[in-house]
Structure 1
Amino acid sequence: MILSASKADLRAQALARRASLSAEAVAAFAPFLAETGLAFAKSHFAESPLPASHEVDLVGAYWAIGAEAATMPLLCALDDAGFSVALPVTGPRGTPLTFRRWRPGDILVKGRMGIAEPPVTAAVVEPGLLFVPLAAADREGNRIGYGAGYYDLTLASFRESQRVIAVGVCFSCQILDRVPAEAHDQKLDYLLTEEGVTPCASLSASG
């Protein structure tokens, strides 16, 4: 997937801001993310009960890389609270992510992008709540990822068959005034930063 120059520039700008954060600021976000993300998941599933055919509340998250805030505390908090957690498995370019169940302590393997992910033996699921990584976003819910388009394809696929809530996780310095949106781009419903959770304008617009 080829990004336009404006998107590429905005991504670089936001990632540079993130890279300038202190190690203390990055480390402090991890426990806050765990506490706030867990509270959001509890509230979400309390307000949006699943059909009786669903045995557990499924939450999709991701394995943090680089300068992203660590997600392991969030994954552990969700698991401890009884949620079923899933991590993404990356396939060929141009295909959606596959989410497979995972629990802290389960084996992880190196995936196509060099990111840890569950093995092919783990069960495939479609979470109704996704915590989504990003490079940049705006408060309208527009998101810039890392360039491969996997999450746009995944959200589009999930939204064809079910209601899914996408929570973009980032530092507040990655939120820009405006992110250009193209026809294939999928909007976020909420943003979760070190300042808390805020709904995106796209949520109210979608009803």
Structure 2
Amino acid sequence: MSATKEEKDALRKAAFVARKAAFAAAGPGQADRLSEVLADHRGVPLSGYMRIRTEIDPTPAMAEAAAHGPVGVPVIEGPGRPLKFRLWTPDAETEEGTFGAHVPAAGDWVVPQVLIVPLLAFDRRGYRMGYGGGFYDRTLAGLRAGGPVLAIGFAFAAQEVAAVPIDATDERLDLIVTEAGVIEPR
């Protein structure tokens, strides 16, 4: 399903509203299901993300995973480039990075095999709508060219839409984890 820029902009706007409402209503334990899913991948290099705006917060699950193996967070190096992932621990000193996300101030780079991916909207086919920069699509394509990579979308259930408009460069998610359950794309 391809869409015009105007249609994508309208969907992004609606997705921001839905996510903001879900964020405001959310209680504790949002990352519990994510922790359960990640338990099957202990010790495997993982990337998470540092929440911005009203994104669902994966850091409790990331902290648990960091006790078993390396966890990185994305660093944007510039427009049109794939993400790199800097080693993160719960006590890492961070600084503000691009778009206001905090990133470790220093540390080694991690090449993840499991990625927790933020999003604005998702559908049951496994497609996601992000902020429009294509960073995760480029990154996933590059990582998948080198071997198996598990991409886990993490979102509020309210962020589900009937169909995300896609382009040829869009990468599918392998799983979507919400506070309400786990979705295996069809």
State the SS of the aligned residue for 2:64.
Answer: helix
Runs of 5+ consecutive residues of structure 2 not aligned to the other structure = none
Residue matched to 1:112: 98
* Cα separation, 1, equivalents of 2:17 and 2:30: 22
| Conserved 8 A contact 1:90-1:113 | no
Residue matched to 2:110: 125
Residue matched to 2:135: 150
- Alpha-carbon deviations, 1:103-155, whole Å to 9, x = none? 11111111132210123x41112111111000011010111101211111111
* Cα separation, 2, equivalents of 1:157 and 1:22: 32
Q: Partner amino acid for 2:46? A: V
| Conserved 8 A contact 2:34-2:58 | no
Offset at 1:94? Answer: 0.1
| Conserved 8 A contact 1:27-1:70 | no
| Conserved 8 A contact 1:137-1:143 | yes
Say yes or no: does 1:74 pair with 2:71.
Answer: no
| Conserved 8 A contact 2:46-2:115 | yes
* Cα separation, 2, equivalents of 1:112 and 1:194: 27
Q: Partner amino acid for 1:65? A: I
Matches within 5 A, 1:1-207: 4-21=5-22, 23=24, 25-28=25-28, 31-33=29-31, 35-44=32-41, 56-80=43-67, 82-119=68-105, 121-201=106-186
TM-score under structure 2 normalisation?
A: 0.91
TM-score under structure 1 normalisation?
A: 0.82
State the SS of the aligned residue for 1:8.
Answer: helix
Q: Percent same amino acid at aligned positions?
A: 33
| Conserved 8 A contact 2:49-2:59 | no
Q: Partner amino acid for 1:132? A: V
- Alpha-carbon deviations, 1:22-66, whole Å to 9, x = none? 63x3233xx241x32222122246xxxxxxxxxx42111000011
| Segments of 4+ moved more than 4 angstroms | none
* Cα separation, 1, equivalents of 2:57 and 2:165: 28
Offset at 1:197? Answer: 1.1
| Conserved 8 A contact 2:48-2:59 | no
* Cα separation, 1, equivalents of 2:133 and 2:33: 28
Change over 3 Å in CA distance of 1:22–1:124 after alignment to 2:
closer
Runs of 5+ consecutive residues of structure 1 not aligned to the other structure = 46-55, 202-207
Alignment RMSD (CA, Å) = 1.6
**With CA pairs under 8 Å and 6+ residues apart, which has the higher RCO, 1 or 2?**
2
Q: Partner amino acid for 1:187? A: R
